[in-house]
Amino acid sequence: MSQRLTILGMRCAGCSAAVEKALKAVPGVDDARVNLALATAEVDTETADAAALAEAVAAAGFEARPEIPPAEAEAAAVERDAAAGRLLLFAAVFSLPFLAEMAAMATGHGGLLPPLLQLALAAPVQLIAGWRFHAGAVRALRHGSANMDVLVSLGTSVAFLFSLALLLTAPAGHVPHLYFEAAALIVTLVLFGKWLEERAKRGATAAIRSLMALAPEQATIERQGVRTTLPIALVRVDDVAVVKPGERIPVDGLILDGDSETDDSLITGESLPVAKGKGDAVTAGAVNGSGLIRVRATRVGADTTLARIAALVAAAQGGKAPIQRLVDRVAAVFVPVVVSVAAVTFAVWMLSDAPLERAVTAAVSVLVIACPCALGLATPAALVAGTGAAAKAGILIRDIETLERAATTDIAVFDKTGTLTEGKPRVVAVHAPSGEAEMIRLTAAAQAGSAHPLAKAVLAHAAGIDLPPVSGLRTLPGGLAATVEGREMLIGSEALFAARGIDAAPLAAVLAEWRALGRSIALVAADGALLGAIGMIDAPRPEAAEALALLRARRVTPVMLSGDHAEATARIAGELGIDRFFGAATPEDKAARIAALHAEGHVVAMIGDGVNDAPALAAADVGIAVGGGADAAMATAGITLMRPDPRLVAATFDAARATRRAIRQNLFWAFAYNVVGIPVAAMGLLHPSLAGAAMAMSSVSVVGNALRLTRWKP
C-alpha cells in the first residue's frame, strides 16, 4: 500500500534527503520517495499510519500533511507566491542602495553610504527578510541535518557580524571596509532565485494541475425523472447524468440518448472533436459539444479515466531515476562538506598571512556559492515537466524506470488487430454446412459480452437478429467459450480447436482458400461438434505506414506479432512493409518471442490492446497499451496511449529521450557548477554578492532547462 503526503518546509536536496531518511526509519515502512519539485513523499507501507509518518517528518524538522487536493494546492501556491513576492520587494527596497554603492565603487567613487546607514539598511534584510533562512538553519541543525538554509544563514551572518564588529571596533574617524552589502544582497538574490524557481516549478507541474482541473465539482443527476445538482462525490455508478452543451462530462459512461460531439483534447491529445451518439462511451472531463446528452455512469470518482490518468502521472512524477540515488547520497553530505571547505579556505588564507577580511570574504563566498538546490531539482524538475508534457499529448508514463528504458528501445513489437489495423474487421465469408443463419445467431450470442474486434465484427454481421441470452463467458487463448441455450459454444482459432481435439479437417479446403486470401478465420463449434467457419478482413490503419516510417527514422525496428494465422499476418505485414513478423501466436508464444528478442540484446517495446497481449506487455522492457483496449493490457503496461494512433509510439520514444536528455543536462550543469564555483570562490576570485547571485541562478537555470520540456509536442 502506498501513502502520498505533502511535505512543507523543504528547500533543497538536503531537506528531501533528511525527510526520506526519517520516513524510511519508521517501523513498517518498506520504502519512501521524496520529490523536491512536487513537495511530496510517497511511502510504501502496510502497517505505518499517517500519524507515525507525520511524527517522523516533524522530528526531522518539517511538516507532513495528507496530500492536498489540486485546487487547494494551487490556491496555496498562489498565496505563497504572493507572500514571497512581498518579502522579495521588502528586501529589494533596502538592498538597492547597496547596488548603487557597488556601482560607484567600481568607478572609483565609493563611499556614498555612511557606515551607520549601511547597518540600518542591512539589518532589516538580515533579520526580517533573511529570518526564513536563519530559522530553517536552526531547525535543520537541531534535528541533526544540514541544508541550503545553513549555508545561506552562516554565510550572511558571518558577513553581517564581521562588518558589525569592524564598525564597533574601528578607531574614531576611521571608516573600515564593511560587507553589509554582501549580507543584504546575498539574502535578496537568493530570495529572488527561490521566487523564480517556485514560479518555474509551477510551470513544470502545470500539466497535472490542468488534468485535475478538468473534473467538474458538480453534476446534474436524473433520478426517477427528477433532475438534481449534486456534488460529484455523491454521484454513483448507474446514475444518469444530464450534460448540457458546453459542459464538462462528470463521469465515465455510455450515452443513453442525444447526439453531440466531445472535445477530448486535454485527455487524449486528440485535436478534433469526436462525434458521439447513443451507445457511445464518453469520458469524465471531456467537453460536451452542441447537443444535450444523457449519460449512464459506468465509472465515477477515483475510478474514472481522468482520475486514473492523474494518478498515473502523479506516480510517474514522484519516481526517481537510478542516477538520482547517487545524487541523494551526494546531497546527504553536501552541506557538511561545503562548511568544511569554507573552514579550510579561511584557515589557508589566514596561514598565508592574508588580511582577515580576505579570509572571511573567501569563506563566505564558498558558503553561498555552493548550491544543493540545483542538485536536488535536476532530476525531478525534468521528470515532472517531461511526463506532464507527454500526458497532455495522450501518452501516460507509469514510472521513471519505464521512461529510461523507452529512451533506449531499438525494437517495437506490434500486435496486429486494433493496433496496426483499424480493429474493425468485417465478415466477408461464412461457411456453415448445417445452416448459416443458425450458426451466426448462436455465435453472435456467445460473443455478445466480448470486446474483441473479431467478436464485434460477428455482432455487426448479425445486426437485426434476436439473440438469446449467454452465460458462462470465458476468454481462452485464441478464442472464447460460452453457454447459449444450454449448448457449449466454442469460437476461436484453428490452434484452439486442435488443442480441444475438435477436427477441422472437413473444412480444410475452405480454410486453405481463405488463408491464401489473408482472411482472419474464426471456427465455430457447439457441444464439441464443428458447425462452420467465419472469414473476416481487417484493413491497416491509415496512420500505420507513417508510424512505422517514423520508428525507422529513429532507428527502431518494427516487428509484428499476431494471434491471427500466418497468412493473414503476412498480408498486413506485406501491405505495411514489415519484414519481420510472426503469426498464429498464443499469449504464451508472444511472451516467449519477446523474451527471445530480449535475449538477442535488444531493448524491446511491446504495443498491444487486448487481454491476450498482457503477458507480452509484462515480458517486454517497455509495455505500451493502446487506449480504448482492455483494462488488463492497460494495467500491465508501463505506458498507455490514450488514443489508438500508432504514431504515438514514436512520439513516446521522443518524449522519453527528451526527458532523459534534460535530466542529464541538468545533472551535468549542477555538478559542474559546484565543481567549478566552489574552488573559484575559495581562491578569493568572487565577491560574496556575486557568489550569492550565482547560487540563486543555478537553481533557476536547472528548472528553466526542465521547463523547456513543457513545450514538447509530438
Spatial distance between the Cα atoms of 424 and 453, rounded to a whole number of angstroms: 6
Spatial distance between the Cα atoms of 43 and 20, rounded to a whole number of angstroms: 9
Dihedral (CA of 384, 389, 390, 394) sign: positive
563 by DSSP, 3-state: which?
coil
Spatial distance between the Cα atoms of 615 and 636, rounded to a whole number of angstroms: 8
Closest CA to 601 of 649, 535, 653, 557: 557
CA 650 to chain centre: 18
Residues 6+ apart with CB under 8 A from 561: 413, 414, 415, 416, 581, 582, 585, 590, 593, 606, 616
Spatial distance between the Cα atoms of 85 and 107, rounded to a whole number of angstroms: 32
DSSP label at 126? I
Spatial distance between the Cα atoms of 711 and 471, rounded to a whole number of angstroms: 51
Q: Which three cell numbers stand for residue 193?
A: 532565485
Spatial distance between the Cα atoms of 8 and 17, rounded to a whole number of angstroms: 14
Q: Are 151 and 187 in contact (CB under 8 A)?
A: no
Spatial distance between the Cα atoms of 669 and 650, rounded to a whole number of angstroms: 29
Spatial distance between the Cα atoms of 460 and 500, rounded to a whole number of angstroms: 28
Q: Are 324 and 383 in contact (CB under 8 A)?
A: no
Task: Tell me the one-letter amino acid at 710.
Answer: T
DSSP label at 248? B
Active-site residue identified among 415, 538, 613, 645: 415
Q: Is 415 a catalytic residue?
A: yes
- Rg of the chain taking only CA atoms, in angstroms: 32
Q: Are 615 and 423 in contact (CB under 8 A)?
A: no
DSSP string, 406-471: HTT--EEEEEIIIIIB-S--EEEEEE-TT-HHHHHHHHHHHTTT---HHHHHHHHHTTT--PPPEE
Residues 6+ apart with CB under 8 A from 109: none
Length of the chain: 714
Q: Are 129 and 87 in contact (CB under 8 A)?
A: yes
The neighbouring-strand residues paired with 488 are: 483
Residues 6+ apart with CB under 8 A from 182: 156, 159, 361, 364, 687, 688, 689, 692
User: How many CB atoms are located within 10 Å of the residue 437 CB?
Assistant: 11
Interior angle at CA 587, CA 586 and CA 590, nearest 5: 85
Closest CA to 233 of 295, 285, 294, 300: 300
CB burial of residue 67 (10 Å; 0-12, 13-18, 19+): middle
- In which order are the strands placed within the sheet that holds 479-484? 426-431, 529-537, 520-526, 487-492, 479-484, 470-476
Active-site residue numbers? 415
